[in-house]
Chains A and B, each alone.
Chain A
Amino acid sequence: MSKDKRTAIGIIQLTRIGDVIQTYQAAKQLKSENPDIELTLIARKEFAAGLGFLLGEVFSHIIFIEIQDFISSPAATLSEAKSAIRDLVSDINKLDLDVLVNLSFSKSSEYLASMITAKHKLGLTRNSQNQISIEDSWSQYVFSTVMNSESNPFNLVDLFKNILGAKKFSPVYSEKSRNDYIVIHPFASSKKKHWGANKWIDLCYKILKENPQQQLYIVGSKADQFNANTIAESPALRDFSERIDNVVGKTSIEETYNLVSDAKLLVCHDSMVSHLAAVSQTPTIVLSLGTVRPSETTPYHENVLNLAPKRKCFPCKVQEKCELLPCHKDISHQLVSRLVRAIIDQEKLDAKFFKEEVSPFYLQNVGIFAPHFTEMGMDLIDITQSSQTVQDVFKTFYKIVWSFYFKEHELNYAIPELSKESLATLSEYSKGCSYIYELYGFGMKYSNAVIDEAKKAQPSIKLIQENISKMGEIDQLCTVTKKTFPLLTPIVDFFFVNKANARGKNIVEITQSNLISFYDGQNMIKVIYDLIDSITKDALSREQIKEV
């Protein structure tokens, strides 16, 4: 190998356009911190080809994948398909990658990552027993928590930055002049995630009526043309037809990006266009509905308002059926149009604004979140300062404990005010913490017993097996506990995945890794217990003062 060879990093991102843009944002930060590295992106052609104008800034090589590369015609054989895959892998291996990072968390990406040769691998791969293998802790976190729970407090761009090893976690804002038009993107990848045409018609009517200087552009893909026409050609909007420009299906992604870049404001659902606006830092109002998790996918910049329903079933899961879509009614078009006017008129969106300018009726079932960046990345702050739920409080707990676990950052947050009902639920959770604490304590005991026995000159295999089986029982009991205390799921799942990927070449080394996992898990659950304790004690003392 030549001494001058630059560090070559390959990134696999086989998921959708939004994820590719978020990957680009994280990779751009890494590249700006390490200009000498050579980055390669491996992505699906259908999701990444249209983003060439952005990706080219950061990636030296972009390798597109599509099924037609392997099955070129109906007459193709399996042997030909496999040969084409081998050729692809061989071409990638010619890049002599130092590090391969799989950021996509999909089955196909796991197998692709396994076939590619690299000195180090991060993210999901498959081992020779066809089991998922994850070496790095951040990817273990994403796999165990982001995919399975609503308690993840981190934005995906921050998670990608952490996996890649970037150091800076707040985007630099640059002022730019903007034109007098608003862009709307009233679509999303599933029915659950977007309002129907009628609510958008109501919103467009109010926006156009209240902001007479503004032109309105509707953007979207060819697949959205029918719905776009329903909105643009609605009789209710006839008087404003000259101020509506329906360009749905007529612009490339690059043209859409340019249009959004110069806009005064974008109003949309959680979608690819919201992430394009993050790149150009266009002020954006996002309406999060259905399966969307605002803390994960809020566009990664400061000029965003993210409106999200406040109801127990939000966010729901992709596989859950919902015909009535109740969360769609939680965000009113009147509230959105008031926020549009406030942004256009540069009003200050503080507690006074929401008290004096917005009817409490519109704020009843909705949280309005704005990003705030710290050394750990994006935090979403509820700017209406409405009371927090137990779920919100646990999200903050997790931000504190994960930030310390992964980066030894100590974060400080004010003690939240909770309703009596929420305090009672929180208080119940201290029992769950005690159970897990005790179980992890037993885990440490059995791990030590295995290590001590295995180190003996003539170890008892029976004794080792007994203790290993007891450790298996701990996992089962933790699973039972998390069913009763679902908000403790992230800790139980993370340490389960962490232990399953324990490092070591022999039983002593692997059990030593497990011992550390149990120890870390116990410390983490203790911190959560202490946080619950301090909130409930604080509430109790305030209650006593009131009584006096």
Chain B
Amino acid sequence: MSIQEEIHKAMNDLQKKNSNDLNISKEDMTLLFLTSLLEEEAPNVKR
């Protein structure tokens, strides 16, 4: 599994957790930080 697929799967799991009103952990924050950084670094993203 590539890192993109791993991130995709982990984000799906996190969304389920979030929709069940469960608190997110520091570990989850690292994933959210990584995905948001990837989103912002994508080409054509401007402020």
- Asked if A82 is at the interface (CB within 8 A of a chain B CB), the reply is yes
Q: Which residue of A lies closest to B17 (CB)?
A: A130
B32's partner among A86, A89, A130, A318 (CB-CB below 8 A) is: A130
By the criterion of a CB under 8 Å from any partner CB, how many residues of chain A are at the interface? 31
Assess the A129–B24 pair: CB atoms within 8 A. yes
- In angstroms, how far is the closest chain A Cβ from the Cβ of B9? 9
Q: Collect the chain B residues with CB atoms within 8 Å of residue A106's CB.
A: 36, 40
Assess the A67–B38 pair: CB atoms within 8 A. yes
A106-B6 Cα distance, complex, nearest whole Å: 24
B29's partner among A67, A70, A74, A126 (CB-CB below 8 A) is: A126
- Asked if A476 is at the interface (CB within 8 A of a chain B CB), the reply is no
- Asked if B46 is at the interface (CB within 8 A of a chain A CB), the reply is yes
Contacts known (A77-B3, A128-B24); A108 close to B30, Cβ less than 8 A: no
Which positions 1-47 of chain B face chain A at CB distance < 8 Å? 2-3, 6-7, 10, 18, 21, 23-24, 26-27, 29-34, 36-41, 46-47
Assess the A111–B29 pair: CB atoms within 8 A. yes
Contacts known (A86-B30, A190-B46); A78 close to B38, Cβ less than 8 A: no
- In angstroms, how far is the closest chain A Cβ from the Cβ of B41? 5
For A129-156 the 0/1 string (1 means CB < 8 A from B) is: 1100000000000000000000000000
A89-B30 Cα distance, complex, nearest whole Å: 10
Q: Collect the chain A residues with CB atoms within 8 Å of residue B46's CB.
A: 189-190, 318
Assess the A115–B41 pair: CB atoms within 8 A. no
For A457-482 the 0/1 string (1 means CB < 8 A from B) is: 00000000000000000000000000
A270-B7 Cα distance, complex, nearest whole Å: 37
B33's partner among A71, A78, A111, A190 (CB-CB below 8 A) is: A111
Q: Which residue of B lies closest to A65 (CB)?
A: B37
Q: Which residue of B lies closest to A130 (CB)?
A: B24
Q: Which residue of A lies closest to B18 (CB)?
A: A130
Q: Collect the chain B residues with CB atoms within 8 Å of residue A70's CB.
A: 34, 37
Assess the B23–A128 pair: CB atoms within 8 A. yes
Assess the B34–A318 pair: CB atoms within 8 A. no
A128-B6 Cα distance, complex, nearest whole Å: 23
- In angstroms, how far is the closest chain A Cβ from the Cβ of B19? 11
Q: Collect the chain B residues with CB atoms within 8 Å of residue A130's CB.
A: 18, 24, 32
Which positions 1-57 of chain A face chain B at CB distance < 8 Å? 14-16
A78's partner among B6, B18, B47 (CB-CB below 8 A) is: B6
- In angstroms, how far is the closest chain B Cβ from the Cβ of A147? 10
Assess the A15–B33 pair: CB atoms within 8 A. no
A70-B29 Cα distance, complex, nearest whole Å: 14
Assess the B6–A107 pair: CB atoms within 8 A. no
Assess the B10–A78 pair: CB atoms within 8 A. yes
Q: Collect the chain B residues with CB atoms within 8 Å of residue A390's CB.
A: none
Assess the A108–B37 pair: CB atoms within 8 A. yes
Q: Collect the chain B residues with CB atoms within 8 Å of residue A112's CB.
A: 33
- Asked if A172 is at the interface (CB within 8 A of a chain B CB), the reply is no
Q: Collect the chain A residues with CB atoms within 8 Å of residue B6's CB.
A: 77-78
Assess the B33–A115 pair: CB atoms within 8 A. yes
Assess the B31–A82 pair: CB atoms within 8 A. yes
A42-B24 Cα distance, complex, nearest whole Å: 24
- In angstroms, how far is the closest chain A Cβ from the Cβ of B25? 8
Q: Collect the chain B residues with CB atoms within 8 Å of residue A126's CB.
A: 24, 29, 32
Q: Collect the chain B residues with CB atoms within 8 Å of residue A74's CB.
A: 2-3
Assess the A114–B29 pair: CB atoms within 8 A. yes
- In angstroms, how far is the closest chain A Cβ from the Cβ of B39? 7
A190-B31 Cα distance, complex, nearest whole Å: 30
Assess the A129–B29 pair: CB atoms within 8 A. no
Assess the A78–B3 pair: CB atoms within 8 A. yes
A487-B19 Cα distance, complex, nearest whole Å: 35
- In angstroms, how far is the closest chain B Cβ from the Cβ of A15? 6
- Asked if A85 is at the interface (CB within 8 A of a chain B CB), the reply is yes
- Asked if A81 is at the interface (CB within 8 A of a chain B CB), the reply is yes
- In angstroms, how far is the closest chain B Cβ from the Cβ of A414? 35
Q: Collect the chain A residues with CB atoms within 8 Å of residue B34's CB.
A: 70, 81-82, 85
- In angstroms, how far is the closest chain A Cβ from the Cβ of B10? 6
Assess the A129–B23 pair: CB atoms within 8 A. yes
Q: Collect the chain A residues with CB atoms within 8 Å of residue B3's CB.
A: 71, 74, 76-78, 81
Q: Which residue of A lies closest to B41 (CB)?
A: A67
A106-B47 Cα distance, complex, nearest whole Å: 9
- In angstroms, how far is the closest chain A Cβ from the Cβ of B2? 8
A74-B6 Cα distance, complex, nearest whole Å: 13
Assess the B30–A82 pair: CB atoms within 8 A. yes
Assess the A85–B33 pair: CB atoms within 8 A. yes
A368-B32 Cα distance, complex, nearest whole Å: 44
B30's partner among A76, A107, A115, A189 (CB-CB below 8 A) is: A115
Which positions 77-133 of chain A face chain B at CB distance < 8 Å? 77-78, 81-82, 85-86, 89, 106-108, 110-112, 114-115, 126, 128-130
Q: Collect the chain B residues with CB atoms within 8 Å of residue A85's CB.
A: 30, 33-34
Contacts known (A71-B3, A78-B10, A115-B26); A108 close to B36, Cβ less than 8 A: yes
A78-B6, A108-B36, A189-B46 known; 14 other A-B pairs, CB under 8 Å? A67-B37, A67-B38, A74-B2, A81-B3, A89-B30, A107-B39, A108-B40, A110-B36, A126-B24, A128-B23, A130-B18, A130-B24, A190-B46, A318-B47
16 residue pairs bridging A and B, Cβ less than 8 Å apart: A77-B3, A78-B3, A78-B10, A81-B3, A81-B34, A85-B34, A107-B32, A107-B36, A108-B40, A115-B26, A115-B30, A115-B33, A126-B24, A129-B23, A130-B24, A190-B46
